[in-house]
Structure 1
């Protein structure tokens, strides 16, 4: 009797699942316009300009790309207008990257970011970026590539390969939300710029809450990455006056004097790095930043006596000094802008007892903080340089 009831129940469940599956709306790719990139600009007062890149599938022709721009008060209003200009239903399931104009970023982007958070079709791994200029100009750029390529995919890969290569900090929607909502840390996003009909990364935008208030130049990205994250790759170039390395520059009959550079430039890649921030004086708010580097020399613009251990120690010492100076410059820049992208606030909270300070309370304390930077770089390989 029980076996008979279980059999009937199984049949009912199977029939119900078939009926439910038959009610689900089928979405054929040919009927959909897949939004792969979106850009937002300020347009007059209380209005925004939205530009989207749509990937369209055609079973007969090749895959096509279309760009649509419209003006509205909200992103939902933009989507409504953009649908009127498309013969396919627009969907956000394949959105890869969002670009905000610098003008808009300076006023605040959280309203538009919230729209992404509320869209169940948008994943947390979408990249957020800032345009050095208008977002629409990047969305409409005519890439000079051998074959037609979807711009959303191109921009996504531009960011991803630099994240994977540890050149920049990952700028996903998830990470922006976490840092924005974190009392002890502020967000950063990559800046995109048009250069000779191509798109490049021209630095990192620094945010105070959801407003862009500064930037980190490309040559400083290495040092910010050291502070924020562990390094397993990445190349950096440093310059030194000839006097600082004069004793280890090879001088003999076979080495001719070089006149191309008035400084000595050394390029090295970082095999491994680890930074640790410690609150050593809670009362006077003194943080010690310990940076440990294992690097490999790749190139030098002068012949250096790398076979001499004393020369290698000299280079290590000079690199330590240069990295320390660059990190201190960044920390002073952040403090002057009243932002904390490194996360000193989180370190402070970890040592705090009682009710945690509010964001404004921490900002007041942060202005008076002091930093002691200690860099220890070990050259594990010198390679061959002449």
Structure 2
């Protein structure tokens, strides 16, 4: 039976449209320069240096990525100047990472962040970061060893550390949320160059849109415990050796060499849950309860784990150390006037109907008191010999 010629004509027309649209798409892609990462440095007063990693669709080119750096007063003007230095139309729809220099972050970044918010082609999942030095130094690093363009590499670097619970998520959405909500302050990862590679060296703490302090990598664990849940984390604790003398195993005829001046424990597969309670609204006193379950994976000296009492002793020493470090961290937050753990959220939630300004909250926060209780349960012991 013959097919209806109308259907044959329609099928041919659709095929032509698909073919032609495919040709147009390929042609358009070759004319585009995809900005996958951008960086901003404070060049001089009222002048910003903008750098962009631009990925090109050109199968004949040896290097598909190039860096374009110009000066300007606004991010829009910078992009217009960058367009003058390339034969391709620069677009930000594939933007993965934004880097602000340390000096610029200390001055304030909300103008530049707001420009991202106003660009409909930029998604809320773009990662925001701070460079230890200049942003341009990060973007101009030698890229021969990278398997992808630098913007994608930076995105994956941050993403895998967020997923492995080493970092709090630093997306544009989260920064906007915490900036506009005076019950919690934003934090962003710090990027630096170490041995020729880009690494995350710590966390930048923001007071509104200005970076005022930092956390080193050892302190990230405690902020994560306070403000989020661990589902399968890992952490190393440091002690003086004398604190564990009673549980260090000694066997006759076996000599263990002392490698470290201190004693270290590694806790793995950490699962955590924290409760922050405002127990005294008038005097602003908080009760912080942190429950942890973990595996004792490794220790720098052999431990005697033959009895529940000795395991309990190890748990208690770990609890005391974590309580001490968390209290020290909170005092540092107060000193710098930052609240990345969200104590302001708890206070505001308890005073519904009574608005408080950002300034008013910061004044109260200075005198807040914190009672910290950590309960860590060791569920298993791993290889610690």
- Does the alignment reach a TM-score above 0.5? yes
Q: Please list, as runs of the form range in 1=range in 2, the aligned pairs for 1:298-377 lying within 5 A after superposition.
A: 298-377=297-376
Is 1:104 paired with 2:108? no
The answer (yes or no) to whether the contact 1:270–1:293 under 8 Å persists in 2 is no
Give the Cα–Cα distance (whole angstroms) in 2 for the partners of residues 206 and 144 of structure 1. Answer: 33
The answer (yes or no) to whether the contact 1:36–1:94 under 8 Å persists in 2 is yes
Give the Cα–Cα distance (whole angstroms) in 1 for the partners of residues 299 and 277 of structure 2. Answer: 35
Give the Cα–Cα distance (whole angstroms) in 1 for the partners of residues 376 and 170 of structure 2. Answer: 28
Aligned to 1:259: 258
Q: Please list, as runs of the form range in 1=range in 2, the aligned pairs for 1:130-145 lying within 5 A after superposition.
A: 130-143=130-143, 145=145
Give the Cα–Cα distance (whole angstroms) in 1 for the partners of residues 188 and 266 of structure 2. Answer: 26
Aligned to 2:54: 54
**Deviation, structure 1 residue 241:** 1.5
The answer (yes or no) to whether the contact 1:57–1:63 under 8 Å persists in 2 is no
Task: Write out per-residue CA displacement over residues 220-274 of structure 1, whole angstroms, 9 at most, x where no aligned residue.
Answer: 1111110111111221111112221111111111431322112211111243101
Aligned to 1:223: 222
**Deviation, structure 1 residue 326:** 1.0
Aligned to 1:5: none
Aligned to 1:194: 193
Which region of structure 1 is more displaced relative to structure 2, 164-173 or 299-308? 299-308
**Deviation, structure 1 residue 199:** 0.5
Aligned to 2:4: none
Aligned to 2:73: 73
The answer (yes or no) to whether the contact 2:234–2:270 under 8 Å persists in 1 is no
Aligned to 1:246: 245
Give the Cα–Cα distance (whole angstroms) in 2 for the partners of residues 143 and 155 of structure 1. Answer: 12
Give the Cα–Cα distance (whole angstroms) in 1 for the partners of residues 61 and 365 of structure 2. Answer: 59
Task: Write out per-residue CA displacement over residues 11-62 of structure 1, whole angstroms, 9 at most, x where no aligned residue.
Answer: xxxxxxx9xxx9xx96721111000000000011210000000111114446
The answer (yes or no) to whether the contact 1:297–1:379 under 8 Å persists in 2 is yes
Aligned to 2:40: 40
TM-score (norm 1): 0.91
Q: Which blocks of at least 5 consecutive residues in structure 1 are unaligned? A: 1-17
The answer (yes or no) to whether the contact 1:108–1:211 under 8 Å persists in 2 is yes
Give the Cα–Cα distance (whole angstroms) in 2 for the partners of residues 307 and 227 of structure 1. Answer: 33
Aligned to 2:14: none
Task: Write out per-residue CA displacement over residues 132-180 of structure 1, whole angstroms, 9 at most, x where no aligned residue.
Answer: 00000001000351x6530001111110010000001000000000000
Give the Cα–Cα distance (whole angstroms) in 2 for the partners of residues 282 and 178 of structure 1. Answer: 25
**Deviation, structure 1 residue 355:** 2.1
| Equivalent position SS for 2:44 | coil
Give the Cα–Cα distance (whole angstroms) in 2 for the partners of residues 196 and 50 of structure 1. Answer: 25
Task: Write out per-residue CA displacement over residues 277-317 of structure 1, whole angstroms, 9 at most, x where no aligned residue.
Answer: 00011111100111010011111011001232111101100
| Equivalent position SS for 1:121 | coil
Give the Cα–Cα distance (whole angstroms) in 1 for the partners of residues 84 and 143 of structure 2. Answer: 27
Q: Which blocks of at least 5 consecutive residues in structure 2 are unaligned? A: 1-16
The answer (yes or no) to whether the contact 1:294–1:377 under 8 Å persists in 2 is yes
Give the Cα–Cα distance (whole angstroms) in 2 for the partners of residues 257 and 59 of structure 1. Answer: 60
| Equivalent position SS for 2:30 | helix
Give the Cα–Cα distance (whole angstroms) in 2 for the partners of residues 62 and 141 of structure 1. Answer: 18
The answer (yes or no) to whether the contact 1:144–1:198 under 8 Å persists in 2 is no
Give the Cα–Cα distance (whole angstroms) in 2 for the partners of residues 153 and 376 of structure 1. Answer: 40
